[in-house]
Structure 1
Amino acid sequence: MLHIKIPQIEEIVEEAINRAALEKEPQVISYVEQIDTADSIAFLDRAKQISPHRLYWRSADEEFVLAGAGSAKRVYSGDDHRFNEIEAMWTTLQEKAEVYDMYGEKGTGLVAIGGFSFDSLEERAAPWEAFPDSQMTIPMYLLTNKGESSFLTTNLLIFKEDHTQQIIHQIKSDKKQLLHGKRTELNLPERINTLEVQPEEWKRSIQKATEYIKGGQMEKVVLARELRALFKEEVQLAAVIEKLSETQPNSYIFTVESGGSHFIGATPERLAKVDNQQLISTCLAGTAPRGKTDKDDKKLGQALLDDPKNRQEHDFVVQMIREAVEACCFDIEIPEKPVLYPLRNLQHLYTPVTATLEDGYTLLDVVSRLHPTPALGGMPQQKSVDYIRNNETLNRGWYAGPVGWFDGRNNGEFAVAIRSALIQKNKASLFAGCGVVEDSDPEAEYDETGVKLKPMLSVLGGY
């Protein structure tokens, strides 16, 4: 239930305690206030003193950032219908929660941040033991930065045994730390060792896949590889996220914590965004490096636009997205030809997709239809995912899965978790993949994944 008139937080907590006793179940309350402009990276840093569970999301195309501390509530699912199950749990949670928000800005109030693994049928194994198949978290404290405005949402799970003044004291103490505490995570990690996991076996897997494709079993499959890094000390999360934000301005920056591990990334690829029923999706497939000079850069970009292999790979994704979006949207607009999307280290073929979401559909409905796109799985979708599960040389976990957020107003955004790494104290696993078609060359694909690993490597100890 959404309340426009906002009582004092003491009244809200006391009412929730009474309601918990009366209804014999814990109560979720959400309280939104506008605050002085706050630095999201500093908030993320200071949050370590509040809770090990920290979350972060920065949009790639607008001034919009979410930073979360602690966990008021988490929802999980681990079966084939995970998107529908998460949606159902989220709907029930919203119906029972008491939300006090007089601002109505997107990304405030009840907001869930998290993600999903690439393949729900893949057996959970190293290094992903701490991550469930899906996990969406409502942070205890959520900083929402939208343009020059900052909002702080306090989400609490209230039990009948709780005491009002004790909770109020804790909130005041936590807010003081989050907004005015000292920063402690200022240093980038010092890397002492790097290990490429089975590179020759991975190249052989590329050759095997091309032969499989030539046999008519598939049109395309995406195969990823892993690189492991060891650091002198435990990685300071806020420092890494801050550097990624500086060096990858056109990417989505994210971090999700689970069981003490942090999945982080700077991905250029949006999966889907819904803002006031307006849907935006992105086709980003086909990759080339940036040039050292403007002339070289333009030459590489034009070569990418003219390359049959990359254009074919890109078109696979465009057609799949078109089919998925048509199932739940109208007023669909898709340009006929891609353009270049430049990043600091790479450039991609890019086609935007816009539409209006039909009534009764949600962001998760769109995500479930889009994931995995041919850019992350292959074509046909199910055959390629099955092939990856049985033949890839690593355990993907959340790599290449949907990561993002949604709120109680059906706004939200998910990106594809590429250009990413799993940080476990003083260790990290980095991931990168490439699209394999019948004429793919293993050495060329290996070099392409090396280029894709560079943005993350550059902040995790340098090149």
Structure 2
Amino acid sequence: MSALWSTDAQALDTALAHLHAELDRVANAPSPAALVRLEVSFCVTHLPAWLNAQTLLPRLYWRSREAGSIAYAAVGAAHEVASLDELRAALAQSGSTASDYFGGIAFDAAGTAWPGFGACRFVLPRVVVAVSADKTTLALNLRFDGTPHALEIARARDTLAQLVAARPLPHWTPTAFERFDTPDRATWCRWVEEATAPNALAQLPKVVLSRQTRLACIAPPSPWALLARWQARAPHCFHLGAQFTHEDTLIACSPERLYRREQRSLTSEALAGTWPRWVRGHERRNTQALLDDAKNDGENRWVQADITKRLSPLTTQLDVAPAEVVTLPSLYHLRRRVNATLTTAIDDAALLETLPPTPAVGGVPRDRALAFIRTHESHARGWYSGAFGRISRDTSELAVTLRSALVNTKGICLHAGAGIVAGSRPEAEWAELDHKIADVMALLGIA
């Protein structure tokens, strides 16, 4: 092992000794608080490598898209919730102690769930490593919610005993994949033609249809190694990972924020309208042309109008910024930011009950779009186009889980969607799906 990784091992030994001493102190306290957080300075060379080395589940990763954002890697669970009502109650019980829950929700709570993920799952991790520009910490969470104190402390010690230092990520050589698209191209074209028929558009002006691309192979890459390579190519995206079982890991580099909340201040966005950056002859697309394009602008305005309509009853102030173009490695997106001030009664559970799925991933009107999707799509979206992020009493941020990959021992499932509106052409929308998975396909060595 190199000196660099040996330093990580020494740092872990030092941190563990400190935390065990702190656990002794908590054990001897006459009446510890309901939630106890123990924190120590730490050193880790590479967060995805640290996660890859751990055996504890769940394993979670989160980093916001803003430069300088804190990156979080978490393992184990001090507490879990499986509904938004449970999340609301857990945050209310946390008092003044900082407690970050990490997790997400599915695109459609009534749809088919991915095994291990469910419709909603948020975790107060047992252990969290947080890396910022000026420090790195390792935190241990204890939750005394009726559990005997000695048992909770014993569980914490057991978790610490299973932590290991980071190791270099496994090398992966691009290999042959067998590709399966659901739906296939012919079926997709029929869907688009059905959705764009005049009588259909009169009832459903926009529906977002998705495709699952399954890449089967004998030895898929480590999901955490793939995430590390992917996030290097997408620095301006949200980076996330969730592994609840040994079979499946969700990773994503998403360009879209669902919302960010700081106390009562809220920021959301309408991200809809897409062009590839490169077209015939390899010339660069003109971003002003995307701003001027009626089809894409109309699609974006539907999303913005729906978000503002849903937020209006929850806010005391709301405004929308002018449209702008978001530049990604393979694509341009149209975005309008939405800024609001929440009423005092609104919490994260209320926001998650209200906002998703937005028309950027579902359609307009929502109920008819969901009915169309449930009737046509045979693959399980699961957490694709749902939401994932970090929630606490004071600040929360969630991304829409786009540009994602579900990795297991049999291969990789990629999902992509396209907004179908008046003027949508089946072949062009199929090509857009390929553009949206192009970055991860390139990482896998697939042209």
TM-score by length of 1: 0.83
Equivalent residue, structure 1, for 2:90:
90
Equivalent residue, structure 1, for 2:60:
55
Q: State the Cα distance separating 1:421 from its structure 2 match.
A: 1.6
For residues 18-97 of structure 1, the aligned pairs below 5 Å read: 29-36=36-43, 39-46=46-53, 48-49=54-55, 51-62=56-67, 63-77=69-83, 83=84, 85-91=85-91, 93-94=93-94
Measured in 2, the distance between the counterparts of 1:442 and 1:400 equals 21
The range that moved more, 414-423 or 274-283, is 274-283
2:299 maps to which of 298, 313, 321: 313
Measured in 2, the distance between the counterparts of 1:132 and 1:14 equals 39
- Give CA deviations for 1:82-131 in whole Å, capped at 9, x if unaligned: x3x14333235525xx94xxxxxxxxx4211111111111244xxx2332
Percent identity between the two aligned chains: 26
Structure 1 unaligned spans of 5+: 1-6, 21-26, 78-82, 100-108
Cα RMSD (Å) of the superposition? 2.8
The range that moved more, 36-45 or 364-373, is 36-45
2:170 maps to which of 185, 201, 211: 185
Q: State the Cα distance separating 1:189 from its structure 2 match.
A: 5.8
Matched, 1:349 2:334: yes
Equivalent residue, structure 2, for 1:283:
270
Measured in 2, the distance between the counterparts of 1:264 and 1:281 equals 22
Matched, 1:272 2:223: no
Equivalent residue, structure 1, for 2:406:
422
Sort the Cα spacing of 1:226 and 1:164 in 2 relative to 1 into closer, same or farther, 3 A: closer
- Give CA deviations for 1:9-57 in whole Å, capped at 9, x if unaligned: 31214549x879xxxxxx75332334346532232223x23x1421011
Measured in 1, the distance between the counterparts of 2:409 and 2:143 equals 29
Measured in 2, the distance between the counterparts of 1:348 and 1:184 equals 32
Equivalent residue, structure 2, for 1:229:
215
| Aligned residue identity for 1:327 | P
Q: How many residues align?
A: 422
Matched, 1:451 2:439: no
Measured in 1, the distance between the counterparts of 2:208 and 2:391 equals 28
Equivalent residue, structure 2, for 1:110:
99
Matched, 1:435 2:435: no
TM-score by length of 2: 0.86
Contact kept in structure 1, 2:177 and 2:217, CA below 8 Å: yes
DSSP 3-state at the match of 2:196: helix
Q: State the Cα distance separating 1:326 from its structure 2 match.
A: 2.2
Sort the Cα spacing of 1:161 and 1:308 in 2 relative to 1 into closer, same or farther, 3 A: closer
Measured in 2, the distance between the counterparts of 1:356 and 1:75 equals 27
Matched, 1:122 2:111: yes
Sort the Cα spacing of 1:140 and 1:189 in 2 relative to 1 into closer, same or farther, 3 A: farther
Equivalent residue, structure 1, for 2:310:
324
Structure 2 unaligned spans of 5+: 1-20
Matched, 1:160 2:148: yes
DSSP 3-state at the match of 2:88: helix
Sort the Cα spacing of 1:357 and 1:184 in 2 relative to 1 into closer, same or farther, 3 A: same
| Aligned residue identity for 1:149 | K
Sort the Cα spacing of 1:31 and 1:391 in 2 relative to 1 into closer, same or farther, 3 A: same
Contact kept in structure 2, 1:324 and 1:366, CA below 8 Å: no
1:303 maps to which of 289, 297, 321: 289
Measured in 1, the distance between the counterparts of 2:264 and 2:41 equals 25
| Aligned residue identity for 2:416 | A
